[in-house]
């Protein structure tokens, strides 16, 4: 089962990454070519790129969790800690983006707390002291 699902998930992940890169480059080009179009908008020109990046990040996290579930050579506890690590890693990136978008005016704990849990889960996963 893993040999069939893994290549499909890799194709899905690569496609979403490529689509995000292409959309971001086109968005930047469109902003540089037609800056007056974006003056009338209340949101910055890069808002749609950030939203597409968030969607891509969530899809990548889902694909990674599916890959972890179908791993055959690790135990259930290791799978759970690896899944939690991926979830906390995504929350760290979202929190860091939130802090950067608000120019540091919000609490940095939105990124730091999930980051610490990410490190704890990865350390537990790599420690080898569990089944």
Question: Tens-of-pLDDT digits for all 131 residues of the chain?
Answer: 578 899 999 999 999 999 999 999 999 999 999 988 888 888 888 888 999 999 999 999 999 999 999 888 888 888 999 999 999 999 999 999 888 888 889 999 999 999 999 999 999 988 876 55
80 shares its domain with 120? yes
Query: Which of residues 43, 72, 101 is at a domain's end?
Result: 72
d(CA 100, CA 127): 33
Domain count, the chain: 2
State if pTM tops 0.75.
yes
For CA atoms 83, 86, 88, 90, the dihedral sign is negative
**Packed helices 2-33 and 47-69: angle between N→C axes, nearest 10 degrees:** 170
- Same domain as 26, residue 62: yes
Axis crossing angle, helix 109-127 with helix 76-101, rounded to the nearest 10: 160
55 and 20 together in one domain: yes
Let me know whether 49 and 111 are in one domain: no
* 112 and 128 co-located in one domain: yes
What is the extent of the structural domain holding 114? 74-131
Do 81 and 56 have their domain in common?
no
């Amino acid at each position: 089962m893993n040999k069939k699902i893994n290549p499909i998930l890799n194709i899905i992940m690569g496609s979403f990454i490529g689509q995000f890169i292409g959309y971001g480059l086109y968005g930047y080009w469109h902003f540089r070519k037609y800056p007056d179009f974006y003056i009338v908008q209340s949101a910055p020109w890069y808002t749609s790129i950030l939203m597409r990046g968030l969607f891509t990040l969530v899809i990548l996290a889902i694909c990674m969790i599916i890959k972890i579930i179908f791993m055959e050579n690790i135990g259930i506890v290791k799978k759970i800690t690896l899944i939690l690590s991926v979830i906390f890693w995504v929350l760290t990136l979202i929190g860091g983006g939130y802090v950067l978008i608000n120019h540091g005016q919000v609490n940095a704990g939105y990124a730091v707390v999930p980051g610490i849990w990410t490190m704890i889960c990865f350390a537990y996963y790599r420690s080898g002291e569990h089944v």
